[in-house]
Amino acid sequence: MGTSFLGRFDYSIDAKGRVNIPAKFRKGLNPEAEETFVICRAPSSCLRAYPMDKWKNRQLELDTLAETPDGLKIKRQTYGTLSESTLDAQGRVSLTQVQMKLAEITKEVTLVGEGDYVEIWDTEKFNKYIGLEPEEDGFDDAHFNIVKSEMEKK
């Protein structure tokens, strides 16, 4: 099975593009994942790291996409930023230049466990996105929009 990834962790990326994976996540890894993550692009120009076993499902989804302009683009945008990375002896994965450029990662990195996968963000960018600065982030708007649309369904 493997446990699900939960929690936020802040690390730094070194000159070789290596980022630490939280010990907690490493311990929860499925043996079938073979210590390997698939890292690719996700919405809002961030990265997602799937342990190998979980990635399989995601790939199945991608492969069923029709070869429409949108379908092709999504596939290429995903595969075109993708890499496989196996944990080194210290429990790190490494990012490619392309991935770092896309996610605007420079030095500080934030990992967010979201169940089956881990998102990798530039720390500053992520803080802005979630609106660590109170009252500026649209959290309330998004929340109330959803509540509202739920109510309209009924």
Q: Which residue ranges make up the site for a second copy (CB under 8 A)?
A: 4, 6-8, 10, 24, 38, 41, 43-45, 59, 63, 65, 67, 70-77, 79-84, 96, 98, 101-104, 110, 112-115, 119, 126, 129-132, 134-135, 137-140, 142-146
User: Is 123 among the residues that bind DNA (CB under 7 A)?
Assistant: no
Q: Which does 16 bind (CB under 5 to 8 A by kind): a second copy, DNA, none?
A: DNA
Q: Which of 6, 14, 76, 115 binds DNA (CB under 7 A)?
A: 14
Q: Which of residues 48-87 bind DNA (CB under 7 A)?
A: 86
Residue 113 touches which member of a second copy, DNA, none, C-beta under 5-8 Å by kind? a second copy
Which window, 20-28, 60-68, 130-138, 143-151, contacts DNA (CB under 7 A)?
20-28
Whichever of 13 and 25 has its CB closer to a second copy, that residue is 25
The DSSP result for the chain, as a single string, is: --PPEEEEEEEE--TT-EEE--HHHHHT--GGGTTEEEEEEETTTEEEEEEHHHHHHHHHHHHTS-SSHHHHHHHHHHHTT-EEEE--TTSEEE--HHHHHHTT-SSEEEEEEEES-EEEEEHHHHHHHHT-STTSS-HHHHHHHHHHHHHHH-
Phi, psi of 102 (to 5 degrees): -60, -45
- Shortest distance, CB of residue 98 to a second copy, whole angstroms? 6
Quick one: which of 16, 4, 22, 19 has its CA closest to 93? 19
34 binds DNA (CB under 7 A): no
**Contact status, residue 47 vs residue 111, Cβ threshold 8 Å:** no
The residue within the footprint of DNA, chosen from 88, 104, 114, 140 (CB under 7 A), is 88
